[in-house]
Amino acid sequence: MTMSVRDRAREAMRTEIAEAMSAIFAERGFDAVTVDDAASEVGISRATFFRYFGSKEDAVLTLVDGRTIDFGGILAGLPAVTGENAWGLLHRLFQEALTSIDTASEAERARVRMIQTTPSLRARLADRRYGHEEALTQALGSRIHPSSAARPIVLAALAILDLAWRRWAAGETPTLRDALDDAFIALDTGSASIS
């Protein structure tokens, strides 16, 4: 079902406000800027802001929601690779699903840094990310044996994904793909030794 012209215009306005306010929050600090201050700077009233968003967190996370990725669906469509284990499959899934992020702007990196350093945003984002758990668990469970191993593997992989996002946002790696590669390689038992 396609959106009406009115709904598309509303969604475009919502995205425009979210981008402008997120830039202000990222520049000056999420907790340091009130809704009133940001709305005024963007050129809208407080009432207009609350017609589009329930909170400051909603305004920032709207942009993340716009990138909602169906990890379970993508995983279900990935072809099998001989000799690949579950970690390799999930590594390949995340690389495939997040290819567009590596072309993201510095504004996106700043937004992710802001989310990672603001407890209320980080908690809300974690809830959304772990919303992928069920679909991913089902998709992985249908491809591995025993299928009961799928949930712990998925939870660990989502934690690895979160680490990769944090490292990329902090500028520790030039691309999100590099951060993913580094994190998954670190899982290899041969990459770390006990002294």
C-alpha dihedral (78, 83, 88, 93), degrees to nearest 10 = 0
Q: Give dist(CA 36, CA 114) in Å, integer.
A: 19
Q: Give dist(CA 115, CA 5) in Å, integer.
A: 32
Residues 181, 192: contact at Cβ < 8 Å?
Answer: no
Q: What is the pLDDT of residue 67?
A: 56
Q: What is the pLDDT of residue 69?
A: 77
Predicted TM-score (pTM) of this structure: 0.75
- Domain 67-189 CATH (choose: 1.10.10.10, 1.10.357.10, 3.40.980.10, 3.40.50.1820): 1.10.357.10
Domain 5-62: state its class. Answer: mainly alpha
The 3-state secondary structure of 141-153 reads HCCCCCHHHHHHH
Where in the chain are the domains? 5-62, 67-189
Q: Give dist(CA 94, CA 140) in Å, integer.
A: 13
To 10 degrees, what angle do helices 119-129 and 150-169 make? 140
Q: What is the pLDDT of residue 149?
A: 94
Q: What is the pLDDT of residue 91?
A: 93
Q: What is the pLDDT of residue 108?
A: 79
* Average pLDDT, 10 consecutive residues per value, the chain (195 residues): 80 90 91 94 94 91 70 90 92 85 71 88 80 89 93 92 87 88 79 52
Cis peptide bond upstream of 146, omega within 30: yes
33, HSE (Cβ side, Cα atoms, 13 Å):
24
Q: What is the pLDDT of residue 151?
A: 95
